[in-house]
Amino acid sequence: MIILEVLKAILFGIVEGITEWLPVSSTGHMILLDEFVKLQVSEAFYEMFQVVIQLGAIAAVLLLFFHKLNPFSPKKNPTQKSATWQLWFKVVVAVLPSAVIGLLLDDWMDAHLYNYVVVAITLVVYGVAFILVERKNDRRTPAIASVYDIDYRTALLIGAFQCLSLIPGTSRSGATILGAIFLGVSRSAGAEFSFFLAIPTMLGASALKLVKYLLEGVSATGTEITVLLVGSIVSFVVSLLVIRGLMAFVRKHSFSVFGVYRIALGALVLGYGVVKMLLA
């Protein structure tokens, strides 16, 4: 039995590692995966698992961008160290809007928005948005080419866009990258800032879910702990590959292809939901 659950955890880790960074909604994909692959864990543990598994993805960002994010690096001169500190301050400013709204509405959203209808609608809506924004973006030169050139106002506005990702199916990276491009940030700089913004955002979300789980007084079984560890490790390894691939992709291509994917997947999800309802 535990071998089967480990195999399922590997699948969840792969899906998390791929979809956390691509603008296609990791939460939406995890909800859909749960429709077909059921982990034999308690409901309380699964609610915690689908958020805390993101810790593996966060670790990948920290590893890949460690030098860029490290203000204490001996290889940086004082100006570069100052720029790194400024980048961290901008990330903190950007995370404030979603942190406030997330804390206030977390339980309500869990109860009312985690379903296939919401996922399908948001997949399609933001898929169309990506195509429209990218068409407009092709006709202009980005005003901000480097992640260091993002000012505090732009960082705060990108953080406001991240609030949209609190709705399942939106995609945290999708909302922030789309917002960044709309605000005149280059694709590569927008993607990088989205990765950095994920660190406090996902750490906070994971900590919140973990604390709630522990306060409920539910103890995890050995199998559940194994599932969480395996899923997180797989998510870390897959994230390393996906982030590198995405950064190479955005230097030469637009995000329109992800918009098309989102629309197709949204239609498929909605169709699946309708068929499931009719057969019930």
Q: What is the pLDDT of residue 103?
A: 79
User: What are the tens digits of pLDDT across the range 15-31?
Assistant: 999 999 999 988 778 87
pLDDT, tens digit (0-9, with 9 covering 90-100), for 92-124: 999 999 888 887 887 787 777 877 788 889 999
Q: How far is CA 46 from CA 125, 139, 263, in A?
A: 28, 45, 28
Cα distance between residue 15 and residue 23, in whole Å? 13
Residue in the structure block whose two tokens are 């998510």: 235
**Does residue 258 or residue 30 have the better pLDDT?**
258
What is the reported pLDDT for 19? 93
What's this model's pTM, rounded to 2 decimal places?
A: 0.88
- Label residue 136 by pLDDT band (50, 70, 90): confident
DSSP letter for 147, please: G
As for how many domains the chain has, the answer is 1
- What is the pLDDT, as a whole number, of residue 216? 83
Q: Return the minimum-mean-pLDDT range out of 140-144, 236-240, 256-260.
A: 140-144
Nearest to 187 by CA among 17, 87, 195, 85: 195
pLDDT, position 25? 85
The pLDDT tens digits of the residues spanning 30-82 come to 878 888 899 999 988 998 898 889 999 999 999 999 999 999 999 999 999 99
In tens, the pLDDT along 187-244 reads 999 999 999 999 998 898 888 888 888 888 777 889 999 999 999 999 999 999 999 9
pLDDT at 139 over 90: no
Is 13 a residue whose pLDDT tops 80?
yes
Reported as a single tens digit per residue, the pLDDT across 52-65 is 899 999 999 999 99
- pLDDT at position 230 is 97
In the prediction, which pLDDT does 209 show?
84
pLDDT tens-digit map of 146-180: 999 999 999 999 999 999 988 888 888 999 999 99
Q: DSSP letter string over 163-222?
A: GGGGSTTS-HHHHHHHHHHHTTB-HHHHHHHHHHHHHHHHHHHHHHHHHHHHHTTPPPPH
134: containing domain: 2-279
CB 241 within 8 A of CB 83: no
